[in-house]
Amino acid sequence: MTRVHEPNKDDWHKLMRLMSFIKCTLKDKRIVGADCLHRKVTMVDSAHAVHKNMRGHTGGLITFVTGVVDTKSTKQKMNTRSSTETEHVGTSEYLPKNIYFVMLMKELGYQSKNYIAKDNESEIKLLKDGRDSYTWNSKHIAIKYFWYAEAVKKHNVNFLKSINEHISLNRNNPFLKHLNSII
């Protein structure tokens, strides 16, 4: 357990806020769909050292432009020394779902473009270049987390710094909070 092991007044207020949101949006229409099965966007973001044991937290989602197909929000499995490393570890923990969807769509007969939206330029460089871009500061994460540099090349993953060129998103979507500044 992380935060709710010993709930406090702040946790109660967060629960009340969530319940109010659910009550107010109970009759709203839920849109689940896909504008284009040939364009999949995966958004992953991580927060550095936010838990008591100083581990990061990762959240991600997969969308075919309209609606959300898959989400994940978890505490990271290892401690990191910088926000770039936290982003890197988070992406590597979420990437297997992305690859699964690539293989599933291929099996269903859809050749789709695969995008990963990131907001950290240092991490994008690590993702694109793999082993060619690490230094002595990041070598320790290379051992465990550079496996996906090969997966990125194998599954033809493209990276987006700004996703508004490819899709339009709802600015009020809480899952996309980290990308609102670049929309």
Q: Which sequence spans correspond to the domains of the chain?
A: 32-182
Type of residue numbered 63? T
CATH architecture assigned to 32-182: 2-Layer Sandwich (3.30)
Main-chain dihedrals φ then ψ at residue 63, nearest 5 degrees = -140, 150
pLDDT of amino acid 107: 92
pLDDT of amino acid 133: 61
Q: pLDDT by residue (tens digit) across 74-87?
A: 999 888 888 888 88
pLDDT of amino acid 74: 92
Q: What is the pTM of this model?
A: 0.69
Name the least confident of 1-5, 104-108, 155-159, 178-182: 178-182
pLDDT of amino acid 141: 64
Q: pLDDT by residue (tens digit) across 87-116?
A: 888 888 888 888 888 888 889 998 888 888
Q: pLDDT by residue (tens digit) across 28-56?
A: 887 677 778 888 888 999 999 998 889 99
CA angle 160, 153, 68 (to 5 degrees): 45
